[in-house]
Each structure stands twice: as structure tokens, then as C-alpha cells.
């Protein structure tokens, strides 16, 4: 069996973003666990509300890499009790059940308080109901600069340990989801 490919999507546009640092750490952990990774950094793209990016070659390429993957790690900041608007714009373009169902996914998020973690259920529901994706565990969350240093990108040992456990399961599910 070939290595499962996991697309890792980072959606914060901030220069020093905790969720992007988490997504970079996740990519490293996934590779250690035996997956190939395809990193999609929305901060390097100009994703406009649908359908204004339909003819953007870089956005189309990112959508193709997203859909070609066997599983997904999707990282988002929480803004106003919701996922990043840019991420939702990307998903409006990318999600396509004709290009694959049942993909396992893990959400990563950085936010200010635990109450807002409930808002990530909206993002999970979008993936489950739109493309029959399968959520692997609850979202992995970061609440402060001790857990994730946004300047150095360093993750706390405790968070890295939890990510290693959950992303290891994602890699196994990604192997099963392969065509
Ligand atoms: C406009 C705005 C709205 C925010 N709304 C929330 C919120 O509703 N709940 C919350 O827990 N944190 C909220 N935050 C805090 C961010 O989630 C937090 O700064 C997070 O680290 C951003 O992710 P990033 O570091 O990856 O860019 C908000 C921040 C901004 C700038």
C-alpha cells in the first residue's frame, strides 16, 4: 500500500499565527507517522468569495491537491464564534463529492476561549454533510502562546503529544480511505 497523502490546510492570514504553527507541526508529525503531506497555505493565495476565484490557477491547483488527498487536516482561527471566512470561501470552491467521499479529517484551531470551540462543529458538519467526510476525534485546540509560540512555531510537549496520538489515527484511516 502506498503512503496515504494528507492535505494540511492553514487558513489564518496573520503573519504570526498559532494555528499555522500547529498546521506546520501537524505536517511534521504526519510525515513521522508515515504519511505524505500536501501543505496548502491560504495566506499565500488570494481566495475570493465564490465564484470570483474560479479562474485563479493557484487556487484551482490548491483545490486539486485538496481533493487528491486521502485525508485532511484543516486549521482555522476562530473569529466571532466561527471559522475563518477565507477557509469557508476555499471550501465553497474545493468541496466536491464527485471527487471523493469518506475522507477522514482532523480540525486544528487557535482561539481565545473554550466556549468558542463549539463553533468548530459548524465546520465539521459542513464536511460531514457535504462530502460524507469522517471526523477523527475532537478538534485539537490551542488557547495561548504557551501551548503554541507564534514566533518560533514551537508546540508545548503536552499539545504535541495529543497531536501525535490523534494524527497517528488519522494516518491509519487515510490508508483505509485510499482508492
Ligand atoms: C476579529 C476577531 C474575532 C475573534 N473572535 C473570537 C471568538 O469568537 N472566540 C474566541 O475564542 N476567540 C476569538 N478571537 C481570538 C482568535 O481566535 C485568536 O487570536 C487566534 O489565536 C487567532 O488564530 P491565529 O493565531 O491562527 O491567527 C478573535 C480574534 C479576532 C481578531
Ligand 1 neighbour 144 (Cβ under 6 A): no
- Ligand 1, atom 4: closest residue by C-alpha: 79
Block residue for cell numbers 454533510: 129
Instruction: Say how many Å lie between the CA of residue 177 and the centre of ligand 1.
Output: 33
Percent residues over pLDDT 70 in the chain:
99
Taking 80 as the threshold, does the pLDDT of residue 94 lie above it? yes
Distance CA 159, CA 110 (A): 12
| HSE value, Cβ hemisphere, 13 Å, CA-based, for 141 | 17
Query: Which pLDDT score is estimated for 179?
Result: 54
Q: Is the peptide bond before 51 cis (omega within 30 degrees of 0)?
A: yes
Ligand 1 neighbour 151 (Cβ under 6 A): no
User: pLDDT tens digits for 68-92?
Assistant: 999 999 999 999 999 999 999 999 9
Instruction: Say how many Å lie between the CA of residue 78 and the centre of ligand 1.
Output: 5
- Tell me the mean pLDDT in the region 18-26: 98
Q: Ligand 1, from 14, 75, 77: best to mutate by most atoms within 8 Å of Cβ? A: 77
Cell numbers linked to 128: 460531514
- Ligand 1, atom 16: closest residue by C-alpha: 111
Taking alpha carbons only, the member of 79, 76, 77, 51 closest to residue 63 is: 51
Instruction: Say how many Å lie between the CA of residue 14 and the centre of ligand 1.
Output: 11
Taking 60 as the threshold, does the pLDDT of residue 42 lie above it? yes
Percent residues over pLDDT 90 in the chain:
97
Asked whether 86 and 28 are in contact (CB, 8 A), the reply is no
Note if the pTM is more than 0.85.
Answer: yes
Instruction: Say how many Å lie between the CA of residue 145 and the centre of ligand 1.
Output: 13
Ligand 1 neighbour 80 (Cβ under 6 A): yes
Instruction: Say how many Å lie between the CA of residue 110 and the centre of ligand 1.
Output: 7
Amino acid at each position: 500500500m502506498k503512503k496515504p497523502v494528507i492535505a494540511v490546510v492553514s487558513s489564518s492570514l496573520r503573519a504570526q499565527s498559532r494555528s499555522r504553527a500547529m498546521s506546520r507541526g501537524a505536517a511534521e508529525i504526519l510525515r513521522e507517522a508515515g504519511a505524505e503531506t500536501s501543505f496548502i497555505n491560504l495566506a499565500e493565495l488570494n481566495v475570493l468569495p465564490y465564484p470570483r476565484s474560479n479562474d485563479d490557477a493557484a487556487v484551482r491547483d490548491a483545490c486539486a491537491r485538496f481533493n487528491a488527498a486521502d485525508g485532511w487536516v484543516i486549521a482555522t482561527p476562530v473569529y466571532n464564534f466561527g471559522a475563518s471566512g477565507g477557509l469557508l470561501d476555499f471550501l465553497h470552491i474545493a468541496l466536491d463529492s464527485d471527487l471523493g467521499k469518506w475522507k477522514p479529517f482532523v480540525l486544528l484551531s487557535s482561539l481565545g476561549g473554550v466556549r468558542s470551540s463549539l463553533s468548530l462543529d459548524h465546520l465539521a458538519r459542513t464536511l460531514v454533510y457535504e462530502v460524507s467526510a469522517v471526523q477523527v476525534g475532537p478538534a485539537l485546540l490551542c488557547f495561548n502562546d504557551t501551548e503554541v509560540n507564534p514566533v518560533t512555531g514551537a508546540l508545548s510537549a503536552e499539545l504535541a503529544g495529543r497531536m501525535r496520538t490523534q494524527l497517528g489515527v488519522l494516518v491509519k484511516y487515510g490508508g483505509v480511505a485510499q482508492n
